Amino acid sequence: MKKYILALDQGTTSSRAILFDHQGQICGSAAQEFPQHFPQSGWVEHDPNDIWQSQLAVARKVLHDNHIDAHQVLAIGVTNQRETTLIWDRKTGEPLAPAIVWQDRRTADLCDDLRAAGKAKKISDISGLELDAYFSASKLKWLLDHVPGARAKAKHGGLAFGTVDSWLVYKLTGQHVTDVSNASRTMLFNIHLMRWDYDLLHLFDIPESVLPQIVSSSEEVGNTHPGLFGAAIPVAGIAGDQQAATFGQACHKPGMVKNTYGTGCFMLMHLGRHPVASHNRLLTTVGWRVDGETDYLLEGSVFMGGATVQWLRDGLGIIRSSAEVEELAASVPDSGGVFMVPAFVGLGAPHWDAYARGSLFGLSRGSTRAHIARAALEAIAYQSAELMTAMQKDASIPLTEVRADGGAARNDLLMQFQADLLGVPVVRPLVTETTALGAAYLAGLAVGFWDTQEEIAAQWRCGRRFEPAMGADQRADLLSTWARAVERSKSWTD
């Protein structure tokens, strides 16, 4: 019987399951959206059971629809929305509270207090991260302080914390683990010593008893409960979504860059086997650990990428589906001077302003919904251009191309505008589901489905290459106007 790797790709707005064969080709997929909850301004929550049930449902569906027996699946790779923070009861396995999503800003004040106390540099030196509510540490502290009985349960060893990978692996296998890539996004992990850091735990008042065991990104960590799929399947790969996408894009060598256009946008550069501190407010993060070797990445994070298009659909109602945005945006030659700064949940790198808010500038009586749609797409590209500028300053490596993936990377208008702003080609691979592919590769390496990273890199294929066509003066003018719009969006809320 033909063998497969099953990738579980748990994202911010949907759960996916994709089957890959030995050639790295997609042999079946299933996806399901799940509810988003916004109980207060700046708060974003998920029901942990929605995460699990949607992920389980699509995993079962892709096997059923493609007539795949569980015995044909050699391993499962898990990739996930990062930083999102969950707590659950160790005995019952039931969540104690809604998951606090990575976009949530409720702990911005706590981070401000730590910054005022002079702790930001120490945190950055140890974790590689910018002190911000984006990461898990402040979210976990908030849960321990505000969920009735949480600290008492933690004190007696009855509470488990995890990011989404930990939650899924726990539900699949009963094991409480996280891999190094996800651990490095908690702000509780020492990226130099590759372990939980006692100083950071003390700083955020986190008891060590709640933490998962740290494992490599490519190793067998447990078998699924036989009743889930009809047979026990090894879970053998775990990586945060952006690290998984970088691995799936075969950016395995220093200087290679990928940008994922998902709910947010995430540009990552491979640094090699040694971390490099950022001087431009980017993040130094663990990429993956395979065969005892750790690879590091430099990362820039944009909070609102494809989610900006979702807002056009769900908030403004000017499109009925996300797929309509390209046609609407292309119905006008440009944005008509309209600029959108989609700081709905603050600004990420390189600004890190938790109090910025979304703004529209340059509106006139001639502005239409098409101009707003185009401005929304262009905003995704502007934000990514800022990341690349900061990245080149940090790494001192001239970029020759950017490999693009994620749902919004299928938008040709966006990809061309991105190439124009960057001044380097944007290359879209033949297989755009690189996040799931990366998780599959990591799992497949662990069970011998693939032998080496070189074998994996040889499977990468270009789907389309977008060459820059914009003049330098026009590029500079647009980026200058964008910078003005960003500055006027900053520090909007108290």
Residue numbers in the known binding site for ATP are 12-14, 263, 306, 310, 407
Annotated binding site: 12-14, 16, 82-83, 134, 241-242, 263, 306, 310, 407, 411
Beta pairing, strands 462-466 & 234-240: unpaired
**Amino acid type, 387:** L
401 close to 427: Cβ distance less than 8 angstroms:
yes
DSSP state of 373: H
Q: Beta partners for 305?
A: none
Beta pairing, strands 426-429 & 293-302: unpaired
Q: Which residues contact 395 (CB under 8 A, 6 or more apart)?
A: 255, 269, 271, 276, 298
Helix (H, G, I), strand (E, B) or coil at 238: strand
Q: Which two tokens stand for residue 457?
A: 């890199």
- Number of Cβ atoms within 10 Å of the Cβ of 220: 14
Report H helices in 345-471.
369-395, 412-422, 434-446, 453-457
Q: What is the full DSSP assignment across 260-280?
A: EESSSEEEEEEEESS----SS
Residue with tokens 């989609």: 342
**Amino acid type, 296:** Y
Beta pairing, strands 257-261 & 402-405: parallel
Tell me, rounded to whole angstroms, the distance of Cα 108 from its chain centroid: 20
Tell me, rounded to whole angstroms, the distance of Cα 425 from its chain centroid: 23
Cα angle, residue 283 at apex, residues 257 and 492 outer, rounded to 5°:
110
Q: Which residues contact 156 (CB under 8 A, 6 or more apart)?
A: none
351 class by beta-carbon count within 10 Å (0-12 exposed, 13-18 middle, 19+ buried): middle
